[in-house]
Structure 1
């Protein structure tokens, strides 16, 4: 039988409120409020009954038994834990709302403009946001890890809270003002002020320290962010996001990521950002950009070699479709061919020729998976002597022939 919310849960919520100094609410599964732990519960002028927030918490894509983080209107931060059947409880615990920085008139005006909302709401919105506590996003994420530990007595990493984040969706049948007022996260990064925090953030990307990104992500207040579009909030956020992609790409290259990989990833991220429609989607994308580049650098560093070998690996990567000679590699690395052969074998466990063949086979797999090219055409594109030689090398490293690999993929 399902257990209702008991005294232990009330005590837990009271403990969270007293220590975090944030609003905490207990919710039932029918979206009604069981209890509120807050001295003065502020009501949002556009959603006084928190209908959108409650619907978002109990939406189908809102995970059970995992702490979730989200924003509504781009400013209001929430963390919640929705209980599943396995927990023996019903409902959810919600921490928030709080803002990640002081919400200025300029930010509110941009929000009203983007959503075609009358400026008559500016005063009430300004008063509402003056009442909310200000907490960095990192603090809210850590509140989620604390909530999870208090309920389940198990630790959880802050990045898992980010991964569980879901946007609040529009409600069907809401009044016109509220329907048009829904926007999502705002970007916390600022390249005009607090340059030390920005440098530390990019240093995390450069060093492949994904887990440290959250630590610096909130140190740059949004109210001072650069203005790259005077009239549209979403265009401004996209422009700032593209700046972040560019900086992260360069940081990743400085950290050892292959240039072509970095440039290609950058192009794809910018295209993705341009296709987004809401501010929260842009903010979520920018976190994913930073995590993605940091993770790529981290994977690259696992096999970090000496500079001559690293130069050769990068050269081979960029010219995988060309014939590659040892003398060319040695010249590129600035060492004698004999020395390079010995060093390469010592650090990678294989000869230069074996390494090139292995990389060509990996590229051949991608072509067979993703294109309509035949094994013969792939062999020609990758500059193998003939199809027989290609088949022999492919089978050595893949365990099956190119034709068998292609047929299996189909």
Structure 2
């Protein structure tokens, strides 16, 4: 499919299997060229409030990434920009959609604030009822695919720009402002920040012990089952973290193995508290691994060994396992590793386990003995001794200083 039109047609044939999602193709002056929507009033009431059309035009002069935005009536859209080598030639829209049913349930109250006739309100309600309700995460995934259809460019959620329009004014807000003042946007921006932090291996997040919790109104992923809702939400976050870590340099094999393991751990949780407690260690693990990838400047052999050790850090690692993984004899493997890494293999494994234990100490309430067993130290006393040798303090002292 070399023609944009063919790719877009195929994309919407697939999307229509789930939702009656509207799309609009406009020229650079926002004149509608084509649409699958019979009611052009939806476009008018969605984009002509508060001079929103002109603002999108202005945005298109300096941006090329998709724009995710919501108008003052809580209608959400994605704008994708098609350009030649010099300028925007078309602007494509997905939407509108509602990302939750709050506006639909309270539409009479919202419409009561508008100075329009009763007949206009009835027509408006009929139009609103035709607009689908789609979770923001799913709409963003559609936006990623739509951007690829138009520009043949692969992007991620972190590449989107996010704007909000209040009832009186339309303005770009800082991420922090939106997180604190607009619950509809905090989850979008959370995802954007999450991807950036992991992709960049931002170790400052861990050392700074920042409170980076999921805020805002999370879309309904499971009706009537709060535990299932929490599990689905965090599984989604693990998927985002996996993609961001791959983009940041973590190997696909390790990233997806971690993803599978963490999703299985989430599914085993019996309470929401257990699910919530898993998030911080998961996030820190992905960040730490990406950070190490960016710092490493070793041979493919050493990197393969280190990747394997970090991947199976909570197992009873052995020289034999590494030998089978790298296809080197145990003796040659040990010598080659020490020569390249300037540390013995056993010491590297022990140090890696100590580093991983710091994450468990700061983010869980597990006892020292449980952590020791989890990391396969021969005893809690040996773990404590090894920890003190490497860090200068005991595990208990470290936990006291770094407890989140």
Normalised by the size of structure 1, how large is the TM-score? Answer: 0.45
Question: Bigger relative contact order, structure 1 or 2, given CA contacts below 8 A and separation 6+?
Answer: 1
Normalised by the size of structure 2, how large is the TM-score? Answer: 0.46
